[in-house]
Chains A and B, each alone.
Chain A
Amino acid sequence: MPGRPPRVTKTEAIVLRYRRLGDADRIVSLLTPHRGKIDVVARGVLRARSKLAGHLEPGTRLEVALAAGRSMDIVTQAQGLDSFGALRDDLDRLSAAMYVLELADRLTVEHADAHGLYGHLHNALIRLARGDGHHLVVRTYELAILDATGFRPEFTVCLGCGEPVEASRAWWSAIEGGVYCSDCAGRRPGISPIDGTVLKVLRAYQSQPYEEAGRIRLSDDLAARLEATMHALMHAVVEREIGSARFISATRRARVNAEAVLELAEADPGGGDQ
């Protein structure tokens, strides 16, 4: 006879996000290796003397004890395992961390196994916190989680005829997630030429181990073009705007100067990059 499920369970998790619940509580979204994404209730964490609050910040890896609740489990204990504190010292690293967390949130469903994705997210946070190039970390993470969730993009073979595509003559469809040769590109909607260097780097990132991929030198311009291609692809996959991708663009504008931000706001009162 099967026993009753335990009233309190323990699991490792990474905090993805939270939202307010009432005056002092939060609903916290956790990514766990075995239970996938779960929403749990953290009581009293908005109070200044809460013992849980500091351990339940987005991007923290922790061990958490959960008591079974009626609709959601309730956090009874939380012990931080790694807070990746260095992320909070640099805006580029912090915005990249927000982006990788948001992608993990968007690409998972509740209570589905997420072992592979959990490992990729953990690795990305470690690499960002230790100061690896954030473009390298984020691009390799995007490709890894697309692979893990069944959305692996096709960079080498034409989606139309199945023949290998020469990088310098390739066409790209973000919606279909792959390349076309010039013969098959025809008048397909949503298709455009892709920069040959961008495609070569993406092929290398997809096929080589992380350490090998890190040897590729990226100019600022090439990094920006890679980012634009991958942001468009991720947008097509999650089928909605990725807020932290927009924030990354805003941090770039802020780097230029405040006057430029004001001029942009005056020229485009609606704001945004879309």
Chain B
Amino acid sequence: MDAFHRLPGIGPKSAQRLAYHILRAPEEEARELAAALIEVKESIVLCEFCQNLTDTSPCRICADTGRDRTVICVVEEPLDIVAIDRTGGFNGLFHVLHGVISPSDGIGPEDLKVEELLRRLRDRDTDVDEIIVATNPNLEGEATSMYLARLLRPLGLRVTRLARGLPAGADLEYADDVTLGRAMEFRQEV
């Protein structure tokens, strides 16, 4: 139960339910689960270029010659790649920072995969001319994007940020000033 409780999002009650489920399940099912957990730990590595989780390095995206190699989308976590790829609106490369600058939690740029991005731009992906920073639109995401912009612009790269505005289905009455202000600033012709 303690082992389940250590997992994110699993409270004591859920840990109890999972533990009893495993106890009642056939032994084969428990062995399969244990084997899958070990396999994940042993076979998943970080892609040497984009730092995404992968079972082969370079990962499928970095190895795909059909992708636009002039643009890199920088994201906080591997799951963000899944979300952006699902939209079908981006065909470039990715780079995963594995976190975001959060000084009050003791996380600075040196704790993220920023050096790996710089080395990649210097040594491998020399055709890149645009970096899209797709960090979350909060204080830490803004700090990360501005830090990257300060670092990368002197290299002659165009550094862009995902547009900020109202989410689909939002209610203007409840929108905060920053979101509504940005939505107005970056309005589009209909």
Contacts and interface: CB of A to CB of B under 8 A. Distances in A.
Prevailing SS type, chain B contact patch: helix
A88 B178 contact: yes
A49 B169 contact: yes
B143 A247 contact: yes
A35 B142 CA distance: 30
B22 interface: no
A88 B151 contact: no
Given A102-B103, A261-B118, A271-B110, A91 B177 contact: no
Contact of B143 (A19, A60, A83, A94): A94
Interface string B129-147: 0000000001100110011
Prevailing SS type, chain A contact patch: helix
B152 interface: yes
Contact of A85 (B108, B154, B177): B177
Contacts of A271: 108, 110-111
Which size bracket describes the interface of A in this complex?
Answer: 35 or more
A1 B128 CA distance: 73
Interface stretch (A207-215, A229-237, A238-246): A238-246
Interface in A44-102: 48-49, 51, 53-55, 57-60, 80, 82-83, 85, 88, 90-91, 94-95, 98-99, 101-102
B147 A250 contact: yes
A83 B147 CA distance: 21
B186 interface: no
Given A247-B143, A251-B147, A261-B151, A54 B175 contact: yes
Nearest to B111: A271
Interface in A1-42: 17, 19, 22-23
A257 interface: yes
A105 interface: yes
B142 A88 contact: yes
From B114, B152, B174, residue with most partner A Cβ within 10 Å = B174
Interface string A238-274: 0001111011001100110110011001000001100
Contact of B150 (A22, A55, A254): A254
A258 to B, nearest CB: 5
B71 to A, nearest CB: 18
Interface residues of B, number: 41
A258 B154 contact: yes
Contact of B178 (A49, A51, A54, A241): A54
Contacts of B150: 91, 251, 254-255
A101 B158 CA distance: 31
B139 A91 contact: no
A262 B115 contact: yes
Nearest to A62: B176
Nearest to B152: A258
B139 A243 contact: no
A15 to B, nearest CB: 9
B181 A244 contact: no
A101 B139 CA distance: 12
Interface of B: 9, 11, 101-111, 114-115, 118-119, 122, 138-139, 142-143, 146-147, 149-152, 154-155, 167, 169-171, 174-179, 181
23 contacts: A17-B104, A22-B11, A51-B174, A54-B175, A57-B138, A57-B139, A57-B178, A60-B176, A80-B177, A88-B142, A91-B149, A98-B103, A102-B104, A243-B106, A243-B107, A244-B104, A246-B108, A251-B150, A257-B151, A258-B151, A258-B154, A261-B115, A261-B118
Interface of A: 17, 19, 22-23, 48-49, 51, 53-55, 57-60, 80, 82-83, 85, 88, 90-91, 94-95, 98-99, 101-102, 105, 241-244, 246-247, 250-251, 254-255, 257-258, 261-262, 265, 271-272
